[in-house]
Amino acid sequence: MTSERLSTTALIYVALAGVLAAGGAAVAVDGGNLFSTANLVDMLTRTSLTGFLAIGMTLVILCRSLDLSVGYVAALSSLVAATTMDGAPGNVPLGIAAVLLVSGLIGAANGAIVAFGRVNPFIATLGVGLIIKGYLDTEYKGPAGDVPAIFQQFGYTRIAFVPVSTIVMLCLAAAGIWFLRSTRTGHHMYAVGGNIDVARMSGIRTHRTRITAHVLCSMCAGVAGMLLAARFGTGSAEAYTNLYELDAIAATVLGGTLLLGGRGGVAGTVAGVAILAVLDTVFNVMQIDPFAKDVLRGTIIIAAVALYARRQIDRTARRPRFAAAGTGRP
Amino acid sequence: MQRARSAAAALLGGGTGTVFALLAVIFAIVFAVNPGFFQAASLMAFLKQAAPLVILAAGQYFVIVSGNFDLSVGALVGAQVVIAARLIDGEEARTVPVIGVMLLFGIAVGLVNGLVTTVLKVQSFITTLGMLLVLYGAIRLWTGGAPTGSLSESFRVPGRMGIENVPLLGQVPWALLIMIACGAAAIWLMRTRFGRVLIATGDNDLAAELSGARVDTVRTAAFVLSGLSATIAGILIGGFAGVSAQVGEGMEFTVITAVVLGGVVLGGGQGLVVAAMAGALTIEALFTLFNQLALPASLRPSVQGAIIIAAVAYAARRRMRPAGQTATPS
């Protein structure tokens, strides 16, 4: 089991290396250098925001759930952070606490609606996202709040060529890997995603597990929102228009986590995020039309998932499936 | 008494009947706020505006009931409108050939979605998400960012005009007739062999396949039908509202919401196409109600989100009750 999971993750890192090599070659042919400091910084900077969102998304997808509200939560969190801090360095801890509290509560609401309300996660989190969108549109007509300079460091400082935000993201990823591999709740998440009925009959409190996943996912989105606030220097409701949630889902699935739940992990997700970031940087350096970028991204995501699907078919074929089809989401 | 009770159960029991009850309640509130709404002219205007979403819901229903998602319909609607404007470029003579091209394009997009999902075994969520990105980018790449060209007058007839001077009703919009035709075709289709195989596939694809059903074929056909519905909706929306780069944006979520509101279960195998179309009417009626109540536009998403969650939770609660007794969880 463990070795199988490792080999899937290994495959994704091989894919990342391949994308790096191909991208490097393409840029070199074009007369540039993908591995120059500026480009490396660009690449790593791109990983942090999607990374935060995708790490949280991995947890909910493992539980066979989904979170379409993370973009809205991130936008709301950037406003909560910026207005709570309000330019005073002393308020930074308070701002962080407020963001984690607000985003955690939203996650709890998501989880409760999914678990107790038996609402399909697609609809539940889309609905919660719409509720937040309405609040943001009504309350905030423009940027609000002021982020003190010291907290803006989170968005801009870097050690050598590695941005601080990327280091924080990698620490969070390490915590996520540890959480899934070594804690009871982490193991429960795989069980719930694999087959929720079997998990419940085995004595797992499935509601509690799913709610935990949603709370953690929303808190990750809260951290992403703080990063947005640190980068812009203010809170911005407009952030949700960027469809971050779809990016996060794409990165998670690209990282080998099965959309049906029960298989995958944070290590793969980090590679998925990195693949998307490398592609974006390559497109940027080669000055590919931004619209062509969307076309290429879409194609690459489908192609990559098609490749993983080949492997997963073999594996699921070996497992007996009890009413596996037709339950929950496709 | 027995019949009355079962009728009440059908209306309030969640699932199919509930959406009609909800629709009646919303219409009742609209009537209380503005009795003038039920005059023929404004009712016909409402149906004209609602027609595209209802047609899209019928198309999306096929995909959802077979156990998949189609997230690309919004982008496809936008693409079709832009294609029409660019190819027609104001010349009347080109109208019919261009509509032919659009139908072919819609079928092709549906075919690609279907084949990638069934042959390459990519989750439909990812397939159609990738297609969304590809269509979004490709169309803007083709037009250089902003839509060019213009629609001909005859192209705009189906979306705008109608049969004049009908007794009692005044103008009967073409859009309403097209909507009724599409709805009748969809209902008929679900009563054929194809429809039954489609539902069986969504309910349990393994069992369907072992019983000799062509699971992959019907699923691909469902995507093609969804592509066709997006094309028809595109023709109506283009005629009604004209050309802009934002046409269709976010429509995929609205239409999936509409289908689910109609009691169709995400994951497949349950629900009626009539109810899915009624779900779309309900959403449009809700928007009309917001207008009548002069609700601030920015607050609408919040109310929409809350109502969707409440409706789906209500339906799910009732549906789960009898299942609790049996040993086979669905």
In a domain, A145, yes or no: yes
Summarize pLDDT for B205-262 with one digit per residue, the tens.
899 989 888 999 999 999 999 999 999 999 999 888 878 877 888 888 889 889 988 8
- A291–B145 CB contact, under 8 Å: yes
Cβ-based contacts of A117 with chain B (< 8 Å): 309, 312-313, 316-317
- What residue ranges define each of the domains in chain B, with the CATH number in brackets? 10-316 (1.10.3470)
Question: How far, CA to CA in Å, does B274 sit from each of A235, B10, B179, B271?
Answer: 44, 15, 12, 9
CA count, 13 A, side-chain hemisphere, A32:
19
Q: Which residues in A lie closer than 8 A to residue B296 (C-beta atoms)? A: 138
> Which CA distances in Å does A255 have to A181, A249, A268, A307, B288?
17, 10, 4, 12, 43
Rounded to whole angstroms, how far apart are CA atoms B90 and B88?
A: 5
**Does A328 map to a domain?**
no
A130 and B305 in contact by Cβ < 8 A?
A: yes
Residue B160 CB partners (closer than 8 Å, separation 6+)? B239, B240
In a domain, A323, yes or no: no
Residues 97-116 in B contacting A (C-alpha not used; CB under 8 Å): 116
CB pair distance less than 8 Å for B260 and A123: yes
Is A295 in Cβ contact with B141 (below 8 Å)?
A: yes
Answer for the pair B56, B73: CB distance below 8 angstroms, yes or no: yes
Distance from the A113 Cα atom to the nearest Cα atom in chain B, whole angstroms:
8
Q: Which residues of B touch A119 (CB under 8 A)?
A: 309, 312-313, 316
Distance of CA B259 to the CA centre of its chain: 7
Q: What one-letter code names the amino acid at B123?
A: Q
Closest residue, chain A, to B68 (C-alpha): A330
Instruction: Give residue B260's identity as a one-letter amino acid code.
Output: V
- B137, A309: Cβ pair inside 8 Å? no
Which residue's structure tokens are 């070659």? A25
Per-residue pLDDT, averaged over B59-87, amounts to: 92
From CA B200, how far away is CA B216, in angstroms rounded? 12
Tokens 């189609």 appear where? Answer: B70
In a domain, A296, yes or no: yes
Burial per residue of A31-44, b for 16 or more beta-carbon CB atoms within 10 angstroms, e otherwise: ebebeeeebbbbbb
Query: What is the rounded CA–CA span in Å between residue A95 and residue B44?
Result: 52
Identify the residue whose tokens are 């037709």. A326
pLDDT tens string for chain A (330 positions)?
Answer: 444 555 778 888 888 899 899 988 988 888 888 888 888 888 888 899 999 999 999 999 999 999 999 999 999 999 999 999 888 888 889 999 999 999 999 999 999 999 998 888 988 999 999 999 999 988 888 888 888 888 888 888 888 888 899 999 999 999 999 999 999 999 999 999 988 889 999 989 999 999 999 999 999 999 999 999 998 888 888 888 778 888 899 899 888 888 888 888 899 999 999 999 998 898 888 888 878 888 888 888 888 888 877 766 554 444 444 444 444 444
A130: nearest CB among B68, B69, B301: B301
pLDDT tens figures, B320-330: 544 433 333 33
Contact B201, B215 (CB under 8 A): yes
The answer to whether residue A136 sits within a structural domain is yes
| Residue A115 belongs to a domain | yes
User: What's the rounded Cα separation, in Å, for the pair A109 and A111?
Assistant: 5
Dist. CA B193–CA B23, nearest whole Å = 31
How many Cβ atoms are within 10 Å of B99's Cβ, its own excluded?
20
Instruction: Kindly identify which residue of chain B lies nearest to residue A304, measuring between CA atoms.
Output: B122
**CATH number, residue A220:** 1.10.3470
A326 to chain B, any CB pair closer than 8 A? The answer is yes
Beta bridge partners of A163: A158
In-domain check, residue A329: no
**Between A135, A289, A298, which is nearest B134 by CB?**
A298
Nearest Cβ partner of B137 from A122, A292, A312? A292
Tell me whether residues B301 and A329 touch, CB distance under 8 A. Answer: no
Q: Is residue A47 part of a domain?
A: yes
Question: B70 to chain A nearest CA, in Å?
Answer: 11
Q: Is A289 on the interface with B (CB under 8 A)?
A: yes
String of DSSP letters for B244-257 = -TTTTTTHHHHHHH
Among B5-19, B26-40, B120-134, B219-233, the least confident range: B5-19
pLDDT of residue B90: 78
- Asked if B205 has any chain A CB less than 8 Å from its own CB, the reply is yes
* B69 CB within 8 Å of a chain A CB: yes
Given an 8 Å threshold on Cβ–Cβ distance, is A250 in contact with B202? no
Residue B305 touches partner A, C-beta closer than 8 Å: yes
Please give the residue of chain B at the shortest CA–CA distance from A122. B266
Q: Hey, is the C-beta of B242 within 8 angstroms of any chain A C-beta?
A: no
Q: Provide the domain limits for residue A14.
A: 2-318
Chain A touched by B170 (CB under 8 Å): no
Residue type, B206: L
Query: How many structural domains does chain A have?
Result: 1
Token digits for A26? 């393409």
> Which residue bears the tokens 């339950």?
A327
Over the stretch B270-295, which tens digit does the pLDDT of each residue have?
Answer: 889 999 999 999 999 988 888 888 88
Q: Can you read off the two tokens belonging to residue A56?
A: 């949280």
A133/B301 Cβ within 8 A: yes
d(CA B154, CA A163): 57
Token pair 């609606």 in the structure block, residue:
A113
